[in-house]
């Protein structure tokens, strides 16, 4: 019985006083880093969703996480209560792409760092991660080629042949792969996955295909728009 009472007293009395000015400083730094993270995501993110709208969540998520950690770390009883609360609450966010989840985790990590009063480590880690994101975007812009889905259709009276289309694409594309081909007595429709090293190749291939016939219709779709 004495041991049980001692444990209860430990839970109720074990408390860490949080400095108000330290909390305000951490909250301001967390807000600043969350704002910089949102700008970083808008400029260098590759998500197809509206990055401007999605990035607005970073500020509230970071500051809320920091507030929770600051309060919880001051009391062991609150820490145990948080575990119980999280076992009841279910967070179901509609995450469409893995990149969105990565940025959300980074926003939470910033809140955790400042909530634990680890200012220097959090700021240094954010600077390094931001530098890596910037370098990755510069490298991908320099090295990545443009992969597109190309759909070509033609109808009578001047229906083109598939072999003419393939030969034309081979002359102007870095890579060509036939994905679908439909042909009737009245029309021809073919879908390709094509690769271009620059936009000049795309323009040249488009002009060359249109010269095959007046009834030719050309449609390009970004490969990322499918997957």
* Domains of the chain, earliest start first: 15-143 (no CATH), 146-225 (3.30.70.360)
Q: What does each of the 227 residues of the chain score in pLDDT, given as a tens digit?
A: 455 555 455 455 555 666 788 889 999 999 999 999 999 998 888 776 677 888 888 999 899 888 888 877 766 555 655 655 555 455 555 656 778 888 988 998 998 899 888 899 999 999 999 999 888 877 765 445 567 788 888 876 566 777 888 888 888 887 788 888 888 877 888 888 888 777 787 788 888 888 887 778 888 776 554 43
**pLDDT in the model for residue 74:** 67
At 13, list the tokens: 């009395």
Which structure tokens are listed for 78? Answer: 């609150």
Report the candidate in 115, 100, 25 with the shortest Cα–Cα distance to residue 67. 115
Give pLDDT, residue 227. 38
Sign of CA dihedral 14, 17, 18, 20: positive
Instruction: State the pLDDT at residue 36.
Output: 94
Q: Do you find a cis peptide bond into 208, omega within 30 degrees of 0?
A: no
For residue 79, what are its two tokens? Answer: 């820490």
**150, 219 Cβ separation under 8 angstroms:** yes
Integer-rounded Cα radius of gyration of the chain? 28
The pLDDT score that the predictor gives to residue 132 is 92
> What 8-state DSSP symbol labels residue 14?
-
């Amino acid at each position: 019985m004495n041991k049980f009472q001692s444990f209860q007293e430990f839970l109720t009395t074990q408390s860490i006083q949080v400095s108000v000015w330290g909390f305000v400083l951490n909250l301001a730094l967390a807000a600043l880093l969350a704002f910089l993270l949102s700008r970083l995501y808008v400029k260098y993110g590759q998500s197809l969703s509206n990055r401007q709208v999605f990035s607005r969540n970073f500020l509230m998520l970071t500051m809320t996480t920091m507030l929770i950690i600051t309060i919880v770390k001051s009391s062991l009883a609150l820490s145990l209560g948080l575990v119980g609360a999280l076992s009841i609450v279910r967070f179901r966010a509609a995450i469409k792409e893995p990149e969105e989840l990565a940025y959300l985790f980074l926003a939470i990590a910033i809140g955790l760092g400042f909530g634990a009063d680890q200012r220097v480590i959090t700021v240094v880690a954010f600077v390094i991660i931001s530098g890596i994101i910037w370098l990755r975007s510069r490298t991908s812009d320099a090295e990545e080629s443009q992969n597109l889905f190309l759909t070509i259709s033609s109808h009578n009276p001047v229906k083109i042949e598939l072999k003419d289309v393939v030969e034309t694409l081979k002359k102007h594309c870095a890579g060509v792969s036939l994905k679908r081909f439909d042909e009737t007595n009245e029309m021809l429709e073919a879908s390709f996955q094509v690769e271009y090293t620059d936009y000049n190749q795309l323009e040249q291939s488009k002009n060359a295909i249109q010269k095959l016939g007046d009834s030719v219709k050309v449609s390009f779709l970004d490969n990322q728009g499918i997957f």
